[in-house]
Amino acid sequence: MAHPQIAAFARVAEGNAKATRKVEGQSTLLSRTMHAIAYDEIHDEFVVPQPFGHAVLTFRGSAKGEEPPLRVIQGPRTMLGGSSTLGIDPANNEILVPEGGKILVFPREANGDVAPIRILEPDTDQGRASQVAVDPTRNLMVVATQKGFGDSAKDPENVHLLIFNRTDQGKVKPKWVIGGPNTGLNSIFKMLVYPPRGEIIAAVPGPGSGEEMATETAFVGVWNIDDKGDVPPRWTVGGPYGTLRKPRGIALDPKNKSVIVSDKYLNAVLTFAFPEIF
């Protein structure tokens, strides 16, 4: 049984390094199976989903120990279920949660049993929404969708990146779509957008991975938000016989021109120099 915690390490930590601080304990309301964490550098806060409690938790950026969240979005009016992923838009003070194939949008400062201010339901036959990221510079939203279950969901024909206007709501068709065999998108474990260049960065288990625990084809791929159709990534980290095996999280460090990737199989956090995307 995993121990629910959020651990912070020095940026240049290496090897079997000790955490500089941890957020853990009953008062934090953290649980297992949290598959996302997002840092809001504008407001110095970080946000995590709590799928077992059907909630979204927001903490101080410097939180440590058994510190309770600043705010908790939870209750029947929220429409939250067991989602373990989310996206944030600090520039527009919003939190976005994929839930039941829809995207629920909440104010950043929402607290308690608060209804979404917008709900996007992608009008497409390309599967259910699983990840979301926002480009506030271009006022666009990227939604990752996946069709089917098990191995059928790992077919690159069944995984797409859909582009919407940021404020779209209701049942809306995407403005354009990225998807197809050349993309290598057989699933997406985590996705974010780098607004200064309009780049979409996604952690992908890799073609042919099926339901295996790990694969040597896992990679992190970079597309531009203006890409359309069946286009390969412009850049990749990992790939055939690379270091990655099951990438689950991504963070960008623009100041040091690097990409930080967590890998579930390696039980490690890896930092790659990646000046091209910055």
Q: Could you tell me if 182 and 232 are in contact, meaning their C-beta atoms sit under 8 angstroms apart?
A: yes
Instruction: Please name the residue that has the structure tokens 């407001």.
Output: 43
Q: Could you tell me if 68 and 27 are in contact, meaning their C-beta atoms sit under 8 angstroms apart?
A: yes
Q: Could you tell me if 190 and 237 are in contact, meaning their C-beta atoms sit under 8 angstroms apart?
A: no
**What is the Cα–Cα distance from 3 to 198, expressed in whole angstroms?**
36
**What is the Cα–Cα distance from 214 to 271, expressed in whole angstroms?**
19
Q: Which fold has domain 120-278?
A: Methylamine Dehydrogenase; Chain H (2.130.10)
Assign domain 1-116 to its CATH architecture.
Answer: 6 Propeller (2.120)
Task: Please indicate whether the domains covering 1-116 and 120-278 agree at the CATH topology level.
Answer: no
- The confidence score (pLDDT) of residue 154 equals 54
pTM exceeding the 0.85 threshold for the entire prediction: yes
Instruction: Please name the residue that has the structure tokens 């440590």.
Output: 64
Tokens of 262: 């967590």
**What is the Cα–Cα distance from 46 to 89, expressed in whole angstroms?**
12
Confidence of residue 153 (pLDDT cuts 50, 70, 90): very low
Computed on alpha carbons and rounded to an integer, the radius of gyration of the chain in Å comes to: 18
Confidence of residue 242 (pLDDT cuts 50, 70, 90): confident
* Nearest C-alpha neighbor of 137 from the set 90, 95, 179, 191: 90
The residue extents of the domains of the chain are 1-116, 120-278
Computed over every residue of the chain, the mean pLDDT equals 91
Confidence of residue 156 (pLDDT cuts 50, 70, 90): low
